Amino acid sequence: MTVEDLEVSRQVRAVFARNWINHQKVQYGATHGTVYINGRLSLLREPAPVRGEERDRQGVSVKVLVFLEKEILKVPGVRGVRWNIQGWQRTRMTWVRRGLR
C-alpha cells in the first residue's frame, strides 16, 4: 500500500465520520486509486424521515449510498469505488436492496 493509498483511506474515513457512518462495521481501503468498501453500513444517527424512502434496519437508503459515493469520488486520488455492502447491490445506475430486510 502506497502513501497515497493510505491518505485516500484516511480521507474515506473522514467522509464516513462527517456522514455519521459507523466505520467500525465496514472494512475499507484503497489500492491504486480504487476504494474498496466491504461489510455492513450502519448510521450512528437516524436521518430525518423522507416520505417513500426505503431504508434497511441500519437506516441506510439509496439516497445515503449515492451521496457517500459522490463524496468519496471527490477525494483527490480516487478513480473509482468498489462496493460489497450487505443488503445492497450496486447496478449500473442505481442501488437495489437484496437479501436482508
Q: What are the structural domains, with CATH classification, of the chain?
A: 3-97 (3.30.70)
User: Looking at per-residue confidence, does 37 or 99 come out higher?
Assistant: 37
pLDDT tens for each residue of 20-70: 888 888 999 999 999 999 999 888 876 555 455 555 555 577 888 888 999
pLDDT at 57: 56
Q: List phi, psi (to 5°) of 34.
A: -100, 130
pLDDT tens for each residue of 63-98: 888 889 999 999 999 999 999 999 888 888 788 888
Location of C-alpha cell 447496478: 91
pTM comes to: 0.84
